[in-house]
Structure 1
Amino acid sequence: MKDWTGILRLEAEERDSRTVARNVYFQGAFKVMRPIYHDDSGQPCYYLLNPGGGYLDGDRYHLGISLLENARLTLTTQSATKIYKTPNTPAYQETEISLKKGSYLEYIPDPLIGYEHARYDQKTVIRMEKGASLLYCDSVTPGWSPEGTLFSYDTLRLRTEIYMDGELAVYDHIKLQPAGQLVNGLGFLEGYTHLGSMLFIGEEADAGLLDELYSAVHPEPDGVRIGMSLLNVPGLAVRILAHSTQAVERIQAECHHLVSRRLFGRNPSFLRKY
């Protein structure tokens, strides 16, 4: 198998009521900043960095995150993930996440931007023990092209598998292929340009929490469509269609704040860098 362009592994544990890194390893075009503790909750925030500035033809990245029992961690990015022209081989990112009982991970990256003739394949596999919690976000936006047209990328594919105690609990597959889909009209994105998703898995995710989220984001702001549903395991899914990155992030942030208040009685810090 071809060597990875960038590798990052992070294992965290609870120690003296704080979450700290037990092991950190990275090489190539993948790095992580020192943790930031935004408040006295003991939950650190780690920022992922891509020193190369974007994903190029044939790039391959591997991210591994492991939280031991009762560890709590926020993971985000320093900037958007930019996928540039990939004429020969799609860029690829594989993420493996392990969450032990009582742990909680917030994974809230900046948007994925596909530029002209970009091809990208993302696979995320999350293995959770019962009693662990997860808040996982994704968002996709079309990048700039010389002609100024939207949806000039070739293919963006995002696959997410979530296992609970070894059993497949959630499978989410998003494949955007403008040449074969009517992504700019009725039938797929319904005329919207930006797509956002949020999954929350945890024992607190019930019909009451879904109602709270619905009340927090409805009525829908102009130019935004929001769908919510419960999952077969304790959890819920939120899908957002909008015309701007800011609109998607605003809805995700409102949901994030509500979940954080429900779980820990705290308001999370603003994660974006602008």
Structure 2
Amino acid sequence: MSSYNLAYCTPENIPAEILNYDNPLEQLAVGQSGKLGILHLCLEYNPSSHKTSIKHQYYKVPLCIKRALYLEETFPEMAYVYIISPSGGVLQGDRYRIDITLTNSAKSHVTTQSATRIYRMNKNFGSQIINLNVDKDCYLEYIPDQIIPFRDSRFYQVSNIKVHDEATCIYSEMLSPGRVASNESFEYDICYMKVKSVNQDDKLRLLDVAKIEPKAENIRSFGIFNNYEILGSVYILTPKDKINIIQNEILEILSGTKEAIGGCTKLPGENGLLIRLLGSFVYDIRNIIYSIVRIVRKNILNVSFSKMRKI
């Protein structure tokens, strides 16, 4: 579609720290075929099949999806959707945009097929826009695998999450230090992740920024990563009457784990929760995130959550 051009896939108000790397490419220019990844996905509950189904989809490689799967025996109406990138990762000059909308009481779990790899860059940066729109009585779990920034990579991600006051969305991020097996740990230039959430009336619910520049700051200092390697963030937007019990159960999980440290705080207005995690291994942070999903799903939907299966 002609309207899906470079401007459509480029974040607004890119911070100066990222624009410092906005140099022209000598190879395939920004905005050319293969540099713009687009995914549009609309899900809704289908009363005839008693399942959440894909009402509309459009994608442009290097982003794509396959058909929805129904993996949860205890909740067969939930649609599991896997986001796939055939290119294997984000290259310099890549601009990705993901738009996901849930309507008509849809229930879905969206994840990535594997980790998001941010390849080495010397001229430009990579970016990704994630727009989530969760309508009344809908439920979304957006739980991607970890981001792996390679040496000298630059990545900017902005996530806009619109959630109705009578809906629920769990959104998570995991950031690894790099290709540890290749002795690359905190050797990327910058990883800048911004999360903003509003309700159905565009009233602000949260604004959170994580900007990590390993070459410009002491990542190992107290108050940043200290001796840990993995950063995890979980954002829970859900009706106020469920906040206290969910927070208490999450705090119980965090206090009982030795593999990571973390905290869980209420958002302004008590309309959600923010959980920040630090650990040494991806699987430790992933398991805690799955435990959080399990808690939320039990309290909101009264169903269980099985460990994820990747295809």
2:252 alignment partner, SS class? helix
Match of 1:28 among 37, 45, 61: 61
CA distance in 1, matches of 2:146, 2:300: 25
1:268 matched residue in structure 2 = 305
Once the two structures are superposed, the pairs formed by residues 45-60 of structure 1 within 5 Å of their partners are 45-60=80-95
For 2:138 and 2:176, the matched residues in 1 are separated by 31
- Post-superposition Cα deviations, 1:228-251, rounded to whole Å, max 9, x if no partner, equal 111124211111100110110011
* Aligned structure 1 segments of 4 or more residues deviating by more than 4 angstroms: none
CA contact (8 A) 1:205 1:235 kept: no
Query: Residue type matched to 1:173 in 2?
Result: V
SS in 2 for 1:259: helix
1:79 maps to which residue?
A: 114
The whole-number CA distance in structure 2 between the counterparts of 1:26 and 1:149 is 33
1:249 alignment partner, SS class = helix
Who is 1:189 aligned against?
A: 225
2:37 is matched with which residue? 6
Query: Under a length normalisation based on structure 1, what TM-score does the superposition of the two structures give?
Result: 0.94
Q: In structure 1, how many angstroms separate the alpha carbons of the residues matched to 2:184 and 2:55?
A: 46
How much has 1:83 moved relative to structure 2?
0.2
1:134 aligns with 2:165: no
Stretch moving more, 62-71 or 205-214: 205-214
CA 217–147 in structure 1, closer or farther in 2 if over 3 Å, else same: closer
Secondary structure, aligned partner of 1:199: strand
Matches within 5 A, 1:65-76: 65-76=100-111
What CA distance in whole angstroms lies between the structure 1 residues aligned with 2:139 and 2:181? 42
Inter-partner Cα distance in structure 2 for 1:249 and 1:146: 19
The aligned length equals 273
Aligned to 2:24: none
Give the TM-score normalised by the residue count of structure 2: 0.84
- For 2:163 and 2:247, how far apart are their aligned partners in 1? 21
Q: What's the counterpart of residue 21 of structure 2?
A: none
2:277 and 2:149 map into 1 onto residues whose CA distance is 18
Q: 1:52 to 1:83 in 2, by over 3 A?
A: same
Contact 2:151 2:184 in 1 (8 A): no
Distance 2:134 2:89 in 1: 28
- Confirm or deny: 8 A CA contact 1:184 1:193 kept in the other structure: no
Question: In the aligned structure 2, how far is the partner of 1:129 from the partner of 1:30?
Answer: 27
Unaligned runs of 5+ in 2: 1-6, 8-29
SS at match of 2:188: coil
State whether residues 96 and 128 of structure 2, in contact with CA within 8 Å, keep that contact through their aligned partners in structure 1: yes
Separation in 2, partners of 1:270, 1:71: 21
Q: Deviations over 1:138-187 (max 9, x none)?
A: 00001127972410111001111101121111001001101222112324
Deviation, 1:191, is 2.1
Once the two structures are superposed, the pairs formed by residues 1-274 of structure 1 within 5 Å of their partners are 1=7, 3=31, 5-16=36-47, 17-38=50-71, 39=73, 40-144=75-179, 148-164=183-199, 165-203=201-239, 204-222=241-259, 224-233=260-269, 234-273=271-310
RMSD over aligned CA atoms reads 1.7
Q: CA deviation at 1:136?
A: 0.6
Q: Secondary structure at the match of 1:26?
A: strand
Query: Cα–Cα, structure 1 residues 193 and 254, in superposed 2: closer, same or farther, change >3 Å?
Result: same
Whole-Å separation in 2 of the counterparts to 1:184 and 1:33: 40
Q: Which amino acid in the other structure matches residue 156 of structure 1?
A: C
The letter for the 2-side match of 1:242 is: G
Distance of 2:304 and 2:153 partners within structure 1: 37
